[in-house]
Amino acid sequence: MAYRSDVVQVRDVRTHLQRGGRGSPLLVLHPEFTAHTWAPYHDALAARFHVLAPDHPGFGSSQRPAWLESIDDLVFHYVDLLDHLEIARVSIVGTSLGGWIGAAFAVAHPERVERLVLAAPAGIKVDGVARYDYFANPVEDVLVHLFHDPTRAAQILPTEYGAEVLVRGYHELTTLARLSWNPYLYDPTLTRRLARINAPTLIVWGAEDRVLPPPHADAWVARVPHAMLKILPACGHLVPFEQAGAFAALAIEFLGA
């Protein structure tokens, strides 16, 4: 599927934006490790929607502004992006970090969200359930940990490991640390605010998620008012990468193009 890659100026942030497909607008928010990727699930979604897949500030080819410190900053950024693109209402598909941003966006701006698909979103803490620590493990372990079937990790591994690739990875992890070193991968205020989401919401979780184990899914469904849950078997944390076909089919059916 054809897609185009542009740099758009969103206030003071040069933002890399990939776009493809026709139909109603669908904002696809990437997880913490696959910025600047047009993956098979983007293709599948673009068959039915106009997919907008930006790199978050500080990831991929988008600049990291000095003021970026929190998920709220990213919510404001995406309000600005939609305004820039003159899009009033949008559906959102977000994975992990992208799901956290999507949920926080829907909490703050419910009037702008049509439907919400969250694949293993980060952002809340479940007492007694450990979250895998990206920051305290070797990067090789981290990348494999994102999948149930470790051979599936190959699709997101760098093809070479020169200094620039490692510096680039460090740059993105640094952005992630700025957003969520402590509290780690959650925002204590988000849990109680999830009740403000009024868009119909589909939560998708991998049954074998080793980063945010499935009890997180139950906590989301309990708190988001109009949420339904799908658990995918033989699937780890990066749902749209490990089960691209099944995930895209669920999303398309739910979004009802």
- Asked if 70 is part of the footprint of other proteins (rule: CB under 8 A), the reply reads no
Residue 191, CA distances (Å) to 13, 43, 57, 76 in order: 29, 32, 24, 19
- Asked if 151 is part of the footprint of other proteins (rule: CB under 8 A), the reply reads no
Binding residues with other proteins: total (CB under 8 A): 18
Residue closer to other proteins (CB basis): 12 or 69: 69
Residue closer to other proteins (CB basis): 35 or 232: 35
Residue closer to other proteins (CB basis): 50 or 131: 131
Question: Using omega within 30 degrees of 0 as the cis cutoff, is the peptide bond preceding 183 cis?
Answer: yes
Binding other proteins (rule: CB under 8 A), the pick from 1, 12, 22, 174 is: 174
Both tokens of residue 31? 């997880």
Binding other proteins (rule: CB under 8 A), the pick from 7, 129, 154, 166 is: 166
**DSSP secondary structure of 117-154:** EEES--B---TT-PPP-GGGS-HHHHHHHT-SSGGGGG
Is there a contact between 203 and 115 (Cβ–Cβ < 8 Å)? no
- Asked if 67 is part of the footprint of other proteins (rule: CB under 8 A), the reply reads no
Pairing relation of β-strands 90-95 and 25-29?
parallel
Is there a contact between 10 and 21 (Cβ–Cβ < 8 Å)? no
- For residue 53, the one-letter residue type is A
Binding other proteins (rule: CB under 8 A), the pick from 5, 9, 137, 189 is: 137
Binding other proteins (rule: CB under 8 A), the pick from 86, 128, 136, 160 is: 136
- Asked if 223 is part of the footprint of other proteins (rule: CB under 8 A), the reply reads no
Of the listed pieces 40-48, 105-113, 132-140, 224-232, which binds other proteins according to CB under 8 A?
Answer: 132-140
Binding other proteins (rule: CB under 8 A), the pick from 156, 173, 207, 257 is: 173
- Asked if 171 is part of the footprint of other proteins (rule: CB under 8 A), the reply reads yes
Residues 6+ apart with CB under 8 A from 217: 120, 203, 205, 229, 231
Q: Which of residues 178-207 bind other proteins (CB under 8 A)?
A: 178, 181-182
Binding other proteins (rule: CB under 8 A), the pick from 8, 79, 108, 139 is: 139
Of the listed pieces 20-28, 82-90, 160-168, 227-235, which binds other proteins according to CB under 8 A?
Answer: 160-168
Residues 6+ apart with CB under 8 A from 53: 17, 18, 19, 20, 28, 30, 38, 42
Is there a contact between 97 and 32 (Cβ–Cβ < 8 Å)? yes
Binding other proteins (rule: CB under 8 A), the pick from 177, 207, 221, 229 is: 177
The DSSP call for residue 203 is: E
Of the listed pieces 120-128, 165-173, 228-236, 246-254, which binds other proteins according to CB under 8 A?
Answer: 165-173
- Asked if 1 is part of the footprint of other proteins (rule: CB under 8 A), the reply reads no
Residue 150, CA distances (Å) to 145, 156, 216 in order: 7, 11, 22
Instruction: Please name the residue that has the structure tokens 């899914």.
Output: 217
What is the contact surface with other proteins in residues (CB under 8 A)? 135-139, 163-164, 166-167, 170-171, 173-174, 176-178, 181-182
